[in-house]
Each structure stands twice: as structure tokens, then as C-alpha cells.
Amino acid sequence: MNKVMGGLLPLCISGALLSAVHAAQAPVPTGGAPGQAMFRANPAHTGAYPTAGVVHLHGVLWIYHTGGAIKSSPAIVGDRVYIGSDDGYLYALTRSTGHRVWRLKTGGAVTSSPAVAQGYVVVASEDGYLYAINAATGRLRWRLEIDAHPAPYDQWDYYISSPVVAEGLVYVGSGAGALYAISIESGRPRWVFRPRWPPHAPIASSPAVAGGRVYIATMVGALYALNARTGTPVWTFHAGDALQSSPTIAGQTLYIGSRDTRLYALNTATGMLRWSVPLTSGSWIVSSPAVSRGVVYVGTSDEQSMLALDAASGRKRGERHSRQCLLVARHQRPERLCRQWERPRRSGSGVSLCPRHPNGTAQVAVPAAPERVVLPHRGRWSCLRGQ
């Protein structure tokens, strides 16, 4: 497969695709609890936000420069934007002005997306530690060694697991092959799950939590469902190749992509396959699916397309091609800030819109408020005005 080094581009979901027909399915959450924010919106990782999409942009509101590349997604709570950088800092900025409120230095690049809950910001660093910081003051509450990213699994292993917070516990995967459940107040592990075979299989995926269970995938293609309180395994599913995608839970179905070119839909109770969709081009699916109104949205890599599938059957509802690879909506490394948007439309569920630069570079927009979006760009974050 011909991957593009140094040109990672995010999964983009256009408001135009939200007109897809709804599937008969249980309602799914569209945002986290008040005062809470994390990777892909909520513990179930649906990727859908309660904020309405931006219809029109009116220019850059502010730009903040960090000392390194920005590869993670921001967590936004109230007037605060929390973001990590390759310069080793976690930053807290004001959403309205871009002014720095505080920053905390870690011992490595902060490529994990932060989670905010119970007054803390939790983030993993490539120094091998998980950090919990007071969200208001920036003071370190605790840190725990988890060996987050000891060594890349292969040349396409760009990511480390992002934490998720549910019912007072922080769940995060480790590059050394363990899933941790940690008290957010004390920093003490409640339990640690290590697959018996193969040992030390890296976890680049981020865990999803729903219905009293936590779901985690490994780079050797194993997907585990565990009891969220005890860490006891419930079931295991094996894909045909590495699972770099993060699982998404919607109703009683789990969705996840694999390097074996398939998107899988599994029964969350039993782990039994509901359906799987192969890509005839042989393109990996390493992006994390988003689910909104009975439609699954997912990006591919070499095929350079974004698919909309019926959540109940896997039947294709729509497809949009890009000029660049679409590799995971977690860690972006865009080439330049876009100034022109491709048919921006309102997204009723707040799923990220897809801007496009005239040179074909795709970007990702993270909803900050109904009238603003936040964009990454080589070590800086830009906030754009809209309505």
C-alpha cells in the first residue's frame, strides 16, 4: 500500500451528508455531561456534538502559536480550549480571545487528546505518563506511569490512546499493551487489563465506554469488551488485521474500522458480527467512525473517500472523494490553514464540517460554539468566526 508520509489528513464529515436517511435504531448520545469534554464528544465516541454547525465564516478570530506540531483534538468546556502540542506542553486558552490561561510542561510530546471531567484535564504524554491537571489553575493533581508509547508498532503507528472519563474512572490504553482504569480523584489504578496473548500488543486505539462496559482494540486485531468496574473480560472479537481505529458505540451496536479494509458492526452484548463492509480498493480503515441519526460516517486512507453507511445494514448511503488520504480524525497534521470552505452547510447534530483549501488540502473543524470553529495548523490553533 502506498501511504503518504508526513501528510496525515483528518476524516472530514460534511453537513451535506447529514441528509442521509435515518435507520431504525436506538437513540445515541450526542455530547458529554455538563462540564465534560473528550475525544469524539462522549464516552461512547459517537463523534456527534450537540452544537449546530457553522453556516458562514467571516475570517480568523484569533491564532495561537505553540512551540511544536499540534496533532491532537481540542477539548472545549465553557470559555476554555485545552490542547496538547509536540513541544511537550498542555495549554489552556480562552475560547473567546485565544489568550493563554496556563500551560503545563510534560516530559514528551502531547499527542493524546485531552479529556475534561470533574474539574480536571486528563491527558497522556509520550513520556509514558498520564497527567491529571486542575482545569482552572493548571496545577498538577497527579501523574501515573503507564508507558503510553514505548515504540511505534510500525511506520504507520502515529497515535497514542486518548483517555475517556466515565463515572469517576479514567480509561486509557498503553503502547505497552495494557488498558488502565484509574480513579480521577486519586490517580490510583482501579484495575489493569493485559491481554494474555500476544503479550504487549500495543494499544493505539482509544477506549469507548457505554452500558457498564469498556471496549478497547489492539494493533494485533483483537477487540475486547470488559466489565467497566472490574476489568473482567466479557467477549473478544478478532479482525483480520490491526485495529488502529477507535470503537464507536451507538445503541446496541459497536462500529470499528480495520487495516483489513473492513468496517465492522458488532453486537455490544455478545460480540457477534452484525455486518461488515469490505472496500474493494484494499484501502485501510483507520479512521474512527462517527454515528448520527442512523448513519455511520467513516474515512478511508488510500481510497481517499468518506463514506456514509446505513447504521443498521451497512448499505452505502453516500460517498465523497478527496484528493488526499483520510487517516483518522484524532491527530491532524494539516499542511496549511484553509481559507475557503467547500459548500459549508449547517450540521444539525454538530458533526464536524469539512473545509477545503484550493490546493486540495482537507482540514477538520471542531465545534467550539454555534458561531465558531477551531482549526489546527502546524503548531498553532486558529478560531474562525461564523454564524
Mean pLDDT for the stretch of residues 306-328: 74
Which of 17, 100, 33, 7 has the alpha carbon at shortest distance from 294?
Answer: 17
Residues with Cβ within 8 Å of residue 64, at least 6 apart in sequence:
91, 93, 98, 100, 380, 381, 382
List beta partners, residue 309. Answer: 296, 316
**Position 355 in a domain:** yes
Which of 171, 214, 218 has the alpha carbon at shortest distance from 199?
Answer: 218
Q: Tell me which of 51 and 272 has the higher pLDDT.
A: 272
Distance CA 372, CA 269 (A): 39
Cell numbers given for 278: 469490505
**Position 229 in a domain:** yes
Taking the CA of residue 28 as centre, how many other CA atoms within 13 Å lie in the half-sphere pointing to its CB?
Answer: 32
Cell numbers given for 140: 498538577
Mean pLDDT for the stretch of residues 45-66: 83
Mean pLDDT for the stretch of residues 98-119: 95
**Position 235 in a domain:** yes
Mean pLDDT for the stretch of residues 132-151: 87
Distance CA 189, CA 182 (A): 4
Rg from Cα positions in the chain: 19
Domain count, the chain: 1
**Position 10 in a domain:** no
The mean-pLDDT minimum among 12-16, 73-77, 96-100 falls in: 12-16
**Position 6 in a domain:** no
**Position 9 in a domain:** no
**Position 7 in a domain:** no
**Position 149 in a domain:** yes
* Full domain range(s) for residue 177: 15-386
Residues 205, 208, 214, 220, Cα dihedral to 10°: -20
The mean-pLDDT minimum among 33-37, 51-55, 128-132, 372-376 falls in: 372-376
Residues with Cβ within 8 Å of residue 301, at least 6 apart in sequence:
1, 3, 283, 284, 285, 286, 287, 325, 326, 327
The mean-pLDDT minimum among 22-26, 100-104, 112-116 falls in: 22-26
pLDDT tens for each residue of 275-302: 998 865 677 887 889 999 999 998 877 6
Rounded alpha-carbon distances, angstroms, from residue 365 to 10, 117, 137, 329: 10, 22, 27, 10
Q: Tell me which of 106 and 151 has the higher pLDDT.
A: 106
Residues 268, 270, 274, 277, Cα dihedral to 10°: 70
Q: What are phi and psi of 17, to 5 degrees?
A: -80, -10
What is the predicted pLDDT for the residue at 384? 60
Q: Identify the CATH number of the domain in which residue 218 sits.
A: 2.130.10.10
The mean-pLDDT minimum among 2-16, 49-63, 69-83, 103-117 falls in: 2-16
